[in-house]
Every structure is written in C-alpha cells, then in structure tokens.
Structure 1
C-alpha cells in the first residue's frame, strides 16, 4: 500500500485522531516505543561487543554495521566460539523483534490513516464545530495566551533583577561607605602632609 499523507488546513488529521481514535494513536506510539527500545538494545550490544576484539567484532560488516545477513554469515561460518554463538543468536532475536515492531508500527500507522480518511466524510456539523472551535481555535488561543504570559513574566523578572542591582544598597549604607572612604582619603592626605 502506498503511504498516504493527509494535509488539511481547517481540520488537521491530528485533531480527528485525538478526538476519535486515541486508542489507535496509543497503539502506534506503543509500537514505535517498542521498536526504538529494541533499536537501543542492538546499539548497546554493538557498543559493548562490536568493538575490536569484542565477541561480535567478526560479525560486523566492513562498514562497521551489524546486519541480519552478517549475523547469519558469522553463525554459519563455524568459526564462532560457543559464547559468541549465544550472543549472535541473542542479537539475531532482537533484530527480528525490532523488524516485527517496525512492521507493526507501519501497519498501525496505516490503519490509523485509513480510519482518519474514512472519518472525514462522516463528520457531522456539530463534530466539525467542536473540532474547529474547541480543539483547534480555543487550544491555539490558550497556547498563545500562555506564551504571552510567560514572556511578560520573564520581562518583569528581568526588570526586577535590574532594579535590585541598581537600588540594592540603601542611602544610609552608601552614606556610611562614603564617610569611611572620606576618612581614609583624609588620613592619606595627612600622611602626605597635605591638610584638607
């Protein structure tokens, strides 16, 4: 099946998915998370055992990659030690699971896209109003208001910091410091023989 990309300005597909198909979206997210987790496991195996003199170093391709073909080739070579064979089987099992998870993700995405496409013509006027006004416009307005409040708060905080630095010392503190410095200057002048 060719991949379909939905483009809709008034009612974006994400709004229909969020309102009508949250469990299908969750299935896509779960499948993606599983595929990513398995991908990380493979990367960890490669980092740990794919280095020079590592147990899987011989199973790596010349480009430094670990592929299903390179794993099978190394297993069939008969040159692998028993510990290496176990690790290769484990890596092969993880790679197969990752492939299955990626396939499940793709199938879940396709099912979600198909369900979303079928839902567009079935939308009632009330559903359209809810999607456009509540889910789209009001959400966008709330986000813009929140961003504006955050920006104004940051500006006020910065201004308060500037004022605190500028007026951080009270007049009596400044007067006391001036008197101390004045006494110090007078003492230096007197030491030099100059009277003030």
Structure 2
C-alpha cells in the first residue's frame, strides 16, 4: 500500500530533518570511466554532467504543475508537434520506399529510415544536374574571370543581357570575384533539375523540410525543458515551510490517496457491472418464452421425422 511504498519514507525524512527536507534534491549523473586504486576500469558519477534530478520529498512534476503551468503547456505542445512530425515523416517514407518510390535512393540499409547524410548527398547529386541558360552563362562568366579575360566577359554580357541583372561589379566598375560567386549561386538556385528527376527532387525537398522542422522542434523542446529545469531548481530553494506542507499534503499525499480510492471504487463498480450484465444476459428470456421455443422446436422435429417415415 501507499504507506509501505512511499508515505512512511516521507514521514521518517520529515521527522529526522523537518519540513525543510522538502527543499532537498537528488541528482542522477552521467557515468565516466576511471581507473581505481588497483588499475581496474570502473564507472563513476560524472558530477559535471547532470542527467536528471528530482525532489527528495516533492517530485519535480508537482513543482512544474503548481508553479510553471504555462511552461509545461509549451513543452507539451512542442512534444505533440514533434510526435506528429515524426509520424508524418514515417508516412512519407513508407509511401515512397518501394521499388518505384521517390525516396528509395536515400533509405538506410534496412530500409526503415532515412539518414540525413543520405538525404543531403542525393539532393547534392540532383542539384548538380540543374541547368538553365542563365546558369550556363554565369558559369562561363566565372571561367572567363578566372582566366582574366575581362573583354570576353563584357562581350558575353552584351550577348546575354540577363547577366546584367546580377550584382557582379565592384563600386569602381570592375568585376568582383565574391560578387560573381554569389551571382552564380543565385543562378544555380533559380535553375531547375531535369524533368526526369523533378518528382524525386520535390519529394526529397519536402522530406528535408519536414525533417528540419522536426529538428528545430526537438531543439526547442530541449531549450524549453532546460529553462524549466532551471526555474524548478531555483524554486526548490525558495520553498517556505507552508508551501512544502501544502505540496506534500494536498498535491502529493492526498492526491495519490484520492486517485487510489477512485481507482479502487472504479474496479468495484466495473466488477459489479460485469456481474449485473452477466445476470441480465442469463435471464434475458422468461421461462414461458423458453418453453414456447422448446415446444416450437419439438413440433418441427416431429414433423421432420414423420416426413422421413418414422412412426411411434
């Protein structure tokens, strides 16, 4: 029962250290390998890396719910969003992972996941196939610049006026290498992959966008949880004795007892309900109805036997 499981430990701690024990915190640390005095490798707590923490008397969940409900709601909402995004990614992968699937080229060896490295590699391969007249002209312009052929660059620009739309000159009118590189990137971004790869490319971009959104959401969860943990740790130190009593009596002990009592009552009611339903089903038909059905069945059997030639 609750006394043996937890309550007696809480009472003993309060008796020994007073209600101030409600401010105490237990930490769980990451492990690290060190050599002991015998030269054996052993695992010990790495006190510089906290994995988790909890109150000795008051669970941190109670502190979160009592003092930081808005922060908790934010984390819960982000978590739900992350789960939904994960489900969408799984659905996208499952739908496009067959022999003719648009994502088959980026699947892992087991075919049950898409590593980020595979995704980026394939996107880079497809983007290298991009082409457009402007990109080709800009690439040629970059080559001429590297060769120092500025006159030919000017001639090319006069033949391809769309190149003049890009910011490729310094303030003094000369061509700038950094500006040419930036212009080439813009031209490449506006270019399109060949039609044969377009569906795959669009599917990869859609998956990448969803993956990035999930990564950003997961990062936001970690940051929000870290901020909440810092607030909870600070709150433990600030708790007054009256607050500790309220959190222990009302939020922990009584809440637990109320839940246990409700569950016990629910079990009893469910058991009684099942028995009532069983009895109701057993006596669903009256004795008269049953006798009438038996008589009807008897007559049907007798008639069938007579037709078969049996007499008695």
Q: TM-score, normalised by structure 2?
A: 0.52
- Shift in Å at residue 166 of structure 1? 6.1
User: Does 1:52 pair with 2:99?
Assistant: yes
- Shift in Å at residue 152 of structure 1? 1.8
SS in 1 for 2:52: coil
User: Does 1:97 pair with 2:213?
Assistant: yes
* Aligned residue runs from structure 1 range 33-182, under 5 A: 33-64=80-111, 65-78=113-126, 81-164=197-280, 173=288, 177=291
Q: CA RMSD in A?
A: 2.7
Looking at structure 1, the residues matched to 285 and 114 of structure 2 have their Cα atoms a distance apart, in angstroms, of: 66
- Shift in Å at residue 150 of structure 1? 1.1
Larger CA deviation: 160-169 vs 141-150: 160-169
- Shift in Å at residue 89 of structure 1? 1.4
Looking at structure 1, the residues matched to 94 and 209 of structure 2 have their Cα atoms a distance apart, in angstroms, of: 17
Cα 1:125/1:52, change in 2 over 3 Å: same
Cα 1:153/1:59, change in 2 over 3 Å: same
Q: Decide which structure has greater strand share.
A: 2
Cα 1:54/1:130, change in 2 over 3 Å: same
* Aligned residue runs from structure 1 range 3-42, under 5 A: 3-42=50-89
Consecutive unaligned residues in structure 1, runs of 5 or more: none
Q: Decide which structure has greater helix share.
A: 1
Consecutive unaligned residues in structure 2, runs of 5 or more: 1-47, 130-195, 303-310
Q: How many residue pairs get matched? A: 182
Larger CA deviation: 116-125 vs 83-92: 83-92
Looking at structure 1, the residues matched to 277 and 108 of structure 2 have their Cα atoms a distance apart, in angstroms, of: 58
Q: Please give the per-residue CA displacement for 1:38-95, whole angstroms capped at 9, x wherever unaligned.
A: 2122111111112221111112233322122111111122367022112211211111
| Cα pair 1:59 1:74 within 8 Å, conserved | yes
Looking at structure 2, the residues matched to 2 and 30 of structure 1 have their Cα atoms a distance apart, in angstroms, of: 27
The one of the two structures with greater contact order (alpha-carbon pairs below 8 A, sep at least 6) is 1
Q: TM-score, normalised by structure 1?
A: 0.79
